[in-house]
Chains A and B, each alone.
Chain A
Amino acid sequence: MGALLFLLVLTTFSSGAAAGDCPEIRLDAKGGSMEHVPVTSQGHVGICYAHAAAQMLDAFRFSHPAPVGDTDYAHISAPLDLAAGFSKDDDATSDFDDGAYHICPVARYGISHGTCDEERVRQLYWKGERKGYTRSLYKTHKAFQEYLKAHAQLHDWEELKKGFRVAACNEIRFLRQLATSAGQSLLPGPDLLMAALRYENYTDAMVEVLRPVCDTPPRHPLHPSLRCEPVALGRPDKLAPLHELLAVKSAQPIAVKTCTNIMTEGRSYRGLNSDGSFTKGCVKHFLLVIGQKMIGGRCRYLLRNSWGTDEDGYSDDWNPPDHGNVWIDEAAMAANTVELCHLTSEGGAP
């Protein structure tokens, strides 16, 4: 019995965190900033940065009194609108790094332009899906992302332009098939879309299609005092700042830039080289830290992902499943994380 007790104590201390350092906190529990922020799903779109930014903005809105925040829980910010709008911003080219955007420029775009209602974008998606239209839009957005990625990393401009034109022509051919009177009555602007594509800028097409549902009624405004700021990593305990940030009043979700692989491959995955850069196999991904607790003697963070409420896609290391959120070891997160950021308001703590 004594030996068992000794083993239990040893296990607890050797895991690197004591319960006192990692009290249970859930921002999605009643009264937390994420209480009214639903789980979102990006499907095959590849805009994790926009999902993280949209949820951060909504969490801030819902956890602050007017005029900084609001209680319009019916308005959930649409990630696709943020992604498309931000892609037109000047920051979009300069902030593409390590194969992914940074969160803060996207969040700042939302703060300055307001956000579109996710339900309205969903309705547009569903309408378009019936005509095979939305898939084309997503393909369009995806192609533009690829273009940006190449633009940021390669320098063979003529080759890029040529490839981009071919892709644009294929899209236009497809959209021409849809430009029947029935198709035009369903959605605004196959003509606008085609015109936008001819200008070699796919994002213009996305913005044009989203405009009718996002501009009328106007985008939901965000208070100009909102700020998105990087959080310095701790030393030597890289993620130590998270414990403090989660414990403050009206605590906000904290965005982390990490590797998707950690969620699917489990705690043994290592996505960082010794110099702190991502390994070649790491698939960059943004998640939100929205809680913490001790599980099996280890401190784990609760991460809000953008893969819907599905619980089956994750490694068994991260059981128990949590309805679209994932409990991941602090040590495993530290071994795969390079960047943190969160929202605050000017002149005040979160």
Chain B
Amino acid sequence: MMRIIYALSCLTALGAGAVSKLDETSSFRIGDHWVVFLRNPAQHFTISATCSRKNGQLGCDAYAALKKVSMKTLAGELAGGVEPGAVMCVKALAGKVVLGVDRQRNENSFCQLRDGSMVSLGGLAYHARKNDSAK
């Protein structure tokens, strides 16, 4: 029951369009294993495939984080060209930045939340800008 309520709250948070179609998948090696991610280009995020529920909706901490992220109090933390999404991950979401590598050896970093789900740092940055401009 809790899971359904959680999934519904996530759906409400980003709007129905956000979970309509995740039409790309990608894999990144993180440590010893490969992790599959789903990408929604229209909604500008890449998220762990484990966030996908049987009903086709997304439900996980990483997805919920997209609704609440903000850059407003973190602008002074970006020294050294650090990724804005990484600052939000660590400072605002109490998450952990993890490094992934694809099969062409290109790197990408993700924010891992308490339930183990991950979301792209760029996705966090995009949604923070969106959330901040809506306020």
Contacts and interface: CB of A to CB of B under 8 A. Distances in A.
A168 to B, nearest CB: 20
Contact of A43 (B45, B46, B109): B109
A44 interface: yes
B84 A311 contact: no
A149 B120 CA distance: 30
Nearest to A281: B75
Interface in A246-291: 260, 264, 283-286
Interface stretch (A33-41, A178-186, A205-213): A33-41
B4 interface: no
- A285, A312, A313, A323 interface centre (most CB from chain B within 10 Å): A312
A109 interface: no
A312 B44 contact: yes
A39 B102 CA distance: 10
A264 B125 contact: yes
Given A122-B101, A264-B125, A310-B46, A46 B82 contact: yes
18 contacts: A38-B106, A38-B107, A42-B109, A44-B86, A46-B80, A47-B80, A100-B80, A126-B32, A129-B96, A129-B98, A264-B129, A283-B79, A307-B122, A308-B83, A311-B122, A312-B44, A323-B106, A324-B108
B108 A48 contact: no
B101 A310 contact: no
Contacts of B129: 264
Given A38-B104, A122-B99, A48 B81 contact: yes
B97 interface: yes
Interface of B: 30-32, 44-46, 78-87, 89-90, 96-99, 101-102, 104-109, 120-123, 125-126, 129
Contact of B80 (A48, A76, A125, A129): A48
A323 B102 CA distance: 12
B102 A309 contact: yes
A310 B106 contact: no
Given A38-B106, A285-B81, A310-B46, A44 B122 contact: no
Contacts of A145: 79-80
Contacts of B32: 126
Interface string A308-324: 11111110000000011
A309 B37 CA distance: 13
A313 B83 contact: yes
Contacts of A47: 80-81
A310 B122 contact: yes
Contact of B81 (A38, A126, A284): A284
Given A310-B108, A313-B84, A44 B125 contact: no
A323 B98 CA distance: 19
Contacts of A49: 80-81
Contact of A310 (B89, B99, B105, B123): B123
Contacts, number: 126
B106 A43 contact: no
Contacts of A40: 106-107
Q: Which 7 pairs of residues, A with B, have the shortest CB-CB distance?
A: A46-B80, A48-B81, A310-B122, A313-B122, A308-B108, A312-B122, A44-B86
A138 to B, nearest CB: 9
Nearest to A285: B81
Contact of B78 (A43, A122, A149, A260): A260
Contacts of B82: 42-46, 48
A308 B111 CA distance: 13
Contacts of B120: 310, 312
A130 interface: yes
A99 interface: yes
A308 B31 contact: no
Given A44-B97, A48-B81, A129-B98, A309 B121 contact: no
A283 B82 CA distance: 10
Contacts of A264: 84, 125, 129
A135 interface: yes
A306 interface: yes
B84 A308 contact: no
A309 B44 contact: no
Given A45-B82, A145-B79, A312-B45, 7 more contacts: A44-B82, A129-B98, A264-B129, A285-B81, A307-B109, A309-B107, A313-B126
A313 B106 contact: no
Nearest to B85: A313
B66 to A, nearest CB: 10
